[in-house]
Structure 1
Amino acid sequence: MAGGGAKTIAFGLLVLNLVLYIIVSIIAGWAINYDIDNTLLSVTFPVYIFPMYNPIGNMATGFFLIFSLIAGLVGIATSIAGVGNIQKGNVPNLHSAGTYSVITWGLTLLAMGLACKEINIGIQDSILRTLEVLVIILSATQLLCMGAINAGVNEAASHDEYMGGGF
């Protein structure tokens, strides 16, 4: 990228998202482990109806935790790959980073929708509230990251055209 402004912003957002996705994965993994441990100790009526019974949440918590964990792990992988692609800075690598970013944003939006549903139902633990807030923040920062990567693609493409290069 010619000026490097979009590259710096995208790199910073990818590192921020990497840290946040690691935190989301740790919290979601802990909550799933806690739920499994406590459900096995006391098998109650909701377990027969819904196998993802959560003693610390409501009926949306099971889906929210699973999709938060999936979004977190995919976010970690794509943030690491995106950092490497941003470092190279050419158009094909930036397109690859943009694709990773779109996939991660879609999964994060799915987890955010479930977080909103869980907030709507009510009765959450403080750990779940923290996870909900982090997922909502990540959906916004991932959107900003997508925009920065797209700006970097446009910047790199115009620089390649100006320099007479190409693919």
Structure 2
Amino acid sequence: MAEQQMKPVASLLLLLNFCMYAIVLGIGAWSMNKAISHGFPIGADFSLPAHFSPIYFPMGNAATGFFVMFGLIAGVAGAASVISGVSHLQSWTTASLPAAVSAAMIAWSLTVLAMGFGCKEIELGMRNARLRTMEAFLIILSATQLLYIAAIHGVRN
């Protein structure tokens, strides 16, 4: 009985997390596009500048490159975990639970890693509004993804 009460909670958290991961992917893709378009220019002889860094971002600070890259990875893993989450919500049995939990745990661990780089970026300062939004979403997602994992453990058949 109690496990059936967790199904609406899990589905609400799954929908919320999917929307938030989609927003993180959108902001991360914008940041990556801007970094590629406005990064270091490579000369006609294809020589790299003296201080070339593949994770240089024209906005933000020294942690921005790591934050955006791991944010994109966490966003893709989180959005992909929705597939196994939806499958688990449809059947809601212990047979579908391991796939949903493992995908959600991988997404959560990558989200916490990206959140750590986001906290470092907050500490260093000098970032724009879009990066602050992405930081806030990843901090919120680290909590809501963990709540989703706890909610789908409501199956006890």
TM-score by length of 1: 0.84
Residue of structure 1 aligned with 2:78, choices 75, 86, 97: 75
Find the counterpart in structure 2 of residue 149 from structure 1. 152
Query: How far apart, CA to CA, are the structure 1 residues paired with 2:147 and 2:31?
Result: 28
TM-superposed CA distance for 1:52, in Å, is: 1.1
Find the counterpart in structure 1 of residue 65 from structure 2. 62
Judging changes above 3 Å, is the alpha-carbon distance between structure 1 residues 89 and 57 closer, same or farther for their aligned structure 2 residues?
A: same
| Moved beyond 4 Å, runs of 4+ | 40-47
1:31 paired to 2:34: no
Find the counterpart in structure 2 of residue 16 from structure 1. 16
Query: How far apart, CA to CA, are the structure 2 residues paired with 1:115 and 1:46?
Result: 28
Judging changes above 3 Å, is the alpha-carbon distance between structure 1 residues 46 and 129 closer, same or farther for their aligned structure 2 residues?
A: farther
1:108 paired to 2:111: yes
Amino acid at match of 2:113: L
- The answer on whether the counterparts of 2:88 and 2:100 sit within 8 Å (CA) in structure 1 is yes
Judging changes above 3 Å, is the alpha-carbon distance between structure 1 residues 128 and 45 closer, same or farther for their aligned structure 2 residues?
A: farther
1:129 paired to 2:129: no
Amino acid at match of 1:28: G
The two structures, once aligned, show a CA RMSD in angstroms of 2.0
- The answer on whether the counterparts of 2:84 and 2:100 sit within 8 Å (CA) in structure 1 is yes
Query: How far apart, CA to CA, are the structure 2 residues paired with 1:74 and 1:62?
Result: 18
Higher normalized helix content (fraction of residues)? 1
Judging changes above 3 Å, is the alpha-carbon distance between structure 1 residues 47 and 61 closer, same or farther for their aligned structure 2 residues?
A: farther
- The answer on whether the counterparts of 1:18 and 1:79 sit within 8 Å (CA) in structure 2 is yes
TM-superposed CA distance for 1:126, in Å, is: 0.7
Structure 1: runs of 5+ lacking an equivalent: 158-167
Q: Provide Cα deviations, 1:67-89, integer angstroms capped at 9, x if missing partner.
A: 00000011111112211212111
Q: State the secondary structure of the residue aligned to 1:4.
A: helix
Q: Map residues 74-93 of structure 1 onto 2, 5 A cutoff.
A: 74-93=77-96
Q: State the secondary structure of the residue aligned to 1:64.
A: helix
TM-superposed CA distance for 1:119, in Å, is: 0.5
Query: How far apart, CA to CA, are the structure 2 residues paired with 1:110 and 1:77?
Result: 17
Q: Provide Cα deviations, 1:94-135, integer angstroms capped at 9, x if missing partner.
A: 222111111110000000000001101111111100000001
TM-superposed CA distance for 1:153, in Å, is: 2.3
Moved more, 87-96 or 30-39: 87-96
Find the counterpart in structure 2 of residue 165 from structure 1. none
Amino acid at match of 2:39: T
* Residue correspondences, number: 153
